[in-house]
Structure 1
Amino acid sequence: MKKVVALSVAGIDTGNGAGAETDIKVYEILGVHGTLVVSAITAQNTRGIKDILVIERDFFQKQLETVLEDFDINNVKIGMIYNKEQYEVVKEYLEGKTIVTDPVIFAKDGTQLIKDLEDYKKYILPITTVLTPNAVEASYFSGINIKTLEDMKKSSKIISNTYNIPYVIVKGGHISTKYSFDILYDAKKDSFYLVGYERINQKNTHGTGSVFSTVISAELAKGEKIYNAIRIARDILQTSIEYGLEIGKGIGPVDPLVYIEKNAYKYKVIEDMYKFANFVESTPSFYKLIPEVQSNLAHSIPSSYVKDLNDIATFKNRIIRNWDNKVSIGFPVVFGKPTHTARLLLATIRKGERATVLINIRYDENTIKLLRLYGYDVIEIDREKEPEHEIEGKSMQWIIDFIYENYGKIPNVIFDKGMKGKEAMIRIWTEDIDTIIDTLNYICKNLS
């Protein structure tokens, strides 16, 4: 199997939060084989940098020569490179390649990571294809004190024109607003491209610059256009920040692996949904569990990864009892559909339960007895106490809120005897698909 090869020139973060090891991780996530040339080794953890061992010129050059003589590399990401000697080597060996530069002037703890700034501007910026400064770094390179969107635009164009950089992306994460923008200035078109995103209240943000710039490098290496690359980079970065790691005693790293982990979990969910469908279709008495309004199964990725309904799957067209008592599964499996079961599962997860599967079935007193015999904690809720809701979907949230406030947790079985306009219903949640299958199989075998 062949893969595109790219190169990271950066420092090593001993806390594995940023730097070359993060770059390699991101390259591999996106299907690119990452190679690396180490500029420095930092003694670093989540609290900051204790010391820096700079790789001397000869060995730094030897690394570059060795990698380039063997691998076909046209795309490079530059992170921390420390001094003029390294800049000269980089310019000599990498000029003319597609270079994405993350200008890490300072670490999060304030440690200076670029020693010779004027030489950096002389040697590194002019050979850069895509520059990805944050607002602080862009202020330094442009001379503009960036506070607004217009400031970001002006600075990106100034930097591009001053250093002859084809693409300059000024990131908006350092500007304190609810919604932020990344601004791409395209020198060839003399135009701006904006990517908007919502700010995330998360302290564990170490490595954001590394992830963002390396995603762009990887996508360009695969032949993606810069406009798509920046959007993909922002999407991956947002997910990485949302699931920032609570490790160490300082500022934890973002987690770019979540991007592929969530996709892998979604694939497993789809497999589980087909497994459940096979069980339903091979169980002749399953029709007895279908209410008048029909059923649906909601299945999420692991609850700790669930953000919203987009992380929860259902059958698009419900589970239906036909006239001949055969049950039809409403394929396909879809994520993000706001069904009652999906909303109820999401509300349950947000109360801290490790729920991943939830189904609604027909109310029957014998079913309730069987569920209690099976060992489930069962609770009844009086729908007559439910206030009128103006917003669709609030009923499911009210059920969970009401139970939690009065019970302190969410039992696996919730039922109600209905009211005018609302059919009586049993709802069952479990932590995995096998448990829900075993439970429903038990009911089907014992329900008269």
Structure 2
Amino acid sequence: MESTPPSAEAKMAPRPQALTVAGSDSGGGAGIQADLKTFAMHGVFGASVITALTAQNSRGVSGIHAPEPQFVARQLSAVLDDLSIGAAKTGMLFSRDIIAAVAPLLREWGGALVVDPVCVAASGDRLLETQAVESLVAEIIPLAALLTPNRHEAELLTGMRVETREQCFAACAKLLEMGPGAVLLKGGHFDEAVAVTDWLALPGQEPIPMIQPRVDTKNVHGTGCTLSAAIAANLALGEPLARAVAKAQAYVNLGLRASFTVGQGPGPVHHGAVLTQARARAEILDELIETARMLEKLPGLARLLPRFGGNIAAALPFASDPAQVAAFEVPLAASADGHIFVPGCPRFGAAPELGVRLAAASASGSGAAWAMPLRLAEATLRGLERAGLLTASVDHGGAGAEERAAGDDFDWDTLRTLQRAVAEGARVDALIDTSGDFPGPTVILLARDALELAEKLDAVAEGAESVVSEADADTFELG
């Protein structure tokens, strides 16, 4: 008898699986709803154990109904008896009896567990009974591969004030004494103007700063749930802990920048923002090619090019990483008749120096999505002025020690400059960068889209032509 060849489905690697043990948010922004969306966006199959039903919307929680603890345990047993759960997270556990029911099963399972010690909703409604805090500390936290408290949860669990860097370190040490493998003390509730620093604490080590740009939005419903679910998803995908945290942070930061309002209160994180970016990738490359052809027809642009040639860059929606910025592989050149010439093809990550600056501009909330470096010359500056465009100088050296330690793949100084302008209600059209790190001093023209970039370039070229000759532009060179 001939054996049946394995089907294509059987040959496929099993899909990673993750589990959320948490409450249900009828408003859809937090709890298991947020967790399952997050799992799906990471390509991970999600299972759920519902610990409580909440009557909830964007304005708050109006009621909580908890199932019998043994039924919660039955849900968990059913999942663990059948599915191959690679990682799990706990959120709202609500009561001491529910904790007592699920803790032995989670202990027997023994997999990578992310514990989000949900105590109070963002609206101020209590999600963990007062008498259950001790049970959480005694029975659940010791099982955690990672504990993810925010500032207020850390204060509740440790009984100490957590405001300064030193107090963060002391709180992390005290939380580690409770038995988790690691602690991520989230920084969203600290008063940091430009960056949000989460502290990753491992036994025997000084906490590591994990930094993301702060997003100015009221739509933060479900942020903590989403972060812990994203960490669990990445652990299920086989990522080591620190990388799982970093990738989860980036996912949440993107979701915050793309967040939206669905009711009368704070809206949710946009869990599907990664799909928006994915759809835009091919479109942006095509648009760059079309824009280059359009710019090649505009007269007078060649004299605006920096000495190193220049480029055109476009960012994905909600970009914050230079890998999310596309540019041409070969620098722009000047043609014989004074027009620009674009000799190469665009790709993402092709111009990392420009990409770092445009990614920061995109993350600032300024609306900038396109950029083109121009020569830092008197002619260019006069052209910008004649065109009525607002410039701002980037104050390099303003980044703090923790921001610098985070690496050079993010331009905190550009972010700070543009965020300041946004807060003042101003719109910056061009950045003046004299640091010499670009390479060389330069002017970076910013725009919301390709058409606006072309219109600004045409206006700057016309303004520059009206004030100095080509020879004068070289004479008045600033960089």
Corresponding residue number in structure 1 for 2:48: 36
- Paired with 1:384 and 1:191, the residues of 2 have a C-alpha distance of 50
- Contact 1:9 / 1:39 at 8 angstroms: preserved in 2? yes
1:351 Cα deviation from its structure 2 partner: 8.8
1:62 Cα deviation from its structure 2 partner: 2.3
1:323 Cα deviation from its structure 2 partner: 7.8
With 259-268 and 80-89 compared, the bigger mean Cα shift is at 259-268
1:128 Cα deviation from its structure 2 partner: 1.7
- Paired with 2:327 and 2:319, the residues of 1 have a C-alpha distance of 15
Find 1:317's aligned residue among 324, 330, 340.
330
After the TM superposition, which residues 93-108 of structure 1 pair with which residues of structure 2 at under 5 Å, given as runs? 93-95=105-107, 96-108=110-122
How many residues get paired? 379
Corresponding residue number in structure 1 for 2:123: 109
Corresponding residue number in structure 2 for 1:146: 162
Q: Does 1:48 align with 2:60?
A: yes
Residue 39 of structure 1 aligns to a residue whose secondary structure is strand
- Alpha-carbon spacing, 1:56–1:183, altered in 2? closer, same or farther (3 Å): same
With 250-259 and 144-153 compared, the bigger mean Cα shift is at 250-259
- Corresponding letter in the other structure for 2:139: Y
- Contact 2:70 / 2:101 at 8 angstroms: preserved in 1? no
Corresponding residue number in structure 1 for 2:144: 128
- Contact 1:134 / 1:171 at 8 angstroms: preserved in 2? yes
Corresponding residue number in structure 2 for 1:266: 281
1:88 Cα deviation from its structure 2 partner: 2.0
- 1:129-169, CA deviations, whole angstroms, 9 ceiling, x for partnerless residues? 210000111111112111111111111111111x2111111
Find 2:90's aligned residue among 78, 84, 101.
78
- Contact 1:313 / 1:337 at 8 angstroms: preserved in 2? no
- 1:402-437, CA deviations, whole angstroms, 9 ceiling, x for partnerless residues? xx9xxxxx79975727243569xxxxxxxxxxxxxx
- Corresponding letter in the other structure for 1:385: R
- Alpha-carbon spacing, 1:135–1:421, altered in 2? closer, same or farther (3 Å): farther
- Paired with 1:160 and 1:104, the residues of 2 have a C-alpha distance of 18
Q: Which runs of 5+ in 1 are unaligned?
A: 361-380, 405-409, 424-448
- 1:158-216, CA deviations, whole angstroms, 9 ceiling, x for partnerless residues? 1111x2111111112212232442112212x4442221334332211111111111121
Corresponding residue number in structure 2 for 1:20: 32
Find 2:253's aligned residue among 238, 241, 244.
238
Q: Does 1:159 align with 2:175?
A: yes
- Paired with 2:444 and 2:189, the residues of 1 have a C-alpha distance of 39
1:383 Cα deviation from its structure 2 partner: 6.4
1:259 Cα deviation from its structure 2 partner: 3.5
- Contact 1:10 / 1:20 at 8 angstroms: preserved in 2? yes
Corresponding residue number in structure 2 for 1:431: none
Residue 124 of structure 1 aligns to a residue whose secondary structure is helix
Find 1:222's aligned residue among 237, 249, 261.
237
- Corresponding letter in the other structure for 1:223: G
Corresponding residue number in structure 2 for 1:416: 462
Of the two, which has the highest radius of gyration? 1
- Corresponding letter in the other structure for 2:25: D
Corresponding residue number in structure 2 for 1:443: none
1:287 Cα deviation from its structure 2 partner: 7.6
- Alpha-carbon RMSD across the aligned residues, in angstroms, is 4.2
- Paired with 2:97 and 2:366, the residues of 1 have a C-alpha distance of 56
After the TM superposition, which residues 31-430 of structure 1 pair with which residues of structure 2 at under 5 Å, given as runs? 31-95=43-107, 96-115=110-129, 116-161=132-177, 163-178=178-193, 179-187=195-203, 189-273=204-288, 276=290, 292=302, 299-301=314-316, 305=318, 313-318=326-331, 329-334=343-348, 385=386, 391-392=432-433, 394=443, 396=445, 414=459, 416=462, 418-419=465-466, 420=468
- Contact 1:185 / 1:192 at 8 angstroms: preserved in 2? yes
- Alpha-carbon spacing, 1:45–1:169, altered in 2? closer, same or farther (3 Å): same
- Alpha-carbon spacing, 1:389–1:139, altered in 2? closer, same or farther (3 Å): closer
- Contact 1:244 / 1:253 at 8 angstroms: preserved in 2? yes
1:297 Cα deviation from its structure 2 partner: 5.5
- 1:69-118, CA deviations, whole angstroms, 9 ceiling, x for partnerless residues? 22111411101112123212211211122110101101112221112222
Q: Which runs of 5+ in 2 are unaligned?
A: 1-11, 375-381, 394-431, 434-441, 472-479
- Paired with 1:268 and 1:226, the residues of 2 have a C-alpha distance of 34
- Alpha-carbon spacing, 1:292–1:152, altered in 2? closer, same or farther (3 Å): closer
TM-score (norm: length of structure 2): 0.67
- Corresponding letter in the other structure for 1:317: V
- Paired with 1:389 and 1:111, the residues of 2 have a C-alpha distance of 44
- Corresponding letter in the other structure for 1:184: L
- Paired with 1:97 and 1:141, the residues of 2 have a C-alpha distance of 24
- Paired with 1:151 and 1:384, the residues of 2 have a C-alpha distance of 49
- Paired with 1:192 and 1:287, the residues of 2 have a C-alpha distance of 52
- Alpha-carbon spacing, 1:270–1:73, altered in 2? closer, same or farther (3 Å): same
With 257-266 and 232-241 compared, the bigger mean Cα shift is at 257-266
- Paired with 2:133 and 2:366, the residues of 1 have a C-alpha distance of 50
- Alpha-carbon spacing, 1:234–1:62, altered in 2? closer, same or farther (3 Å): same
- 1:42-82, CA deviations, whole angstroms, 9 ceiling, x for partnerless residues? 11110001111212223222211221222111411101112
Residue 416 of structure 1 aligns to a residue whose secondary structure is helix
Q: Does 1:6 align with 2:21?
A: no
TM-score (norm: length of structure 1): 0.71
- Corresponding letter in the other structure for 1:60: V
With 306-315 and 33-42 compared, the bigger mean Cα shift is at 306-315
Identity %: 27
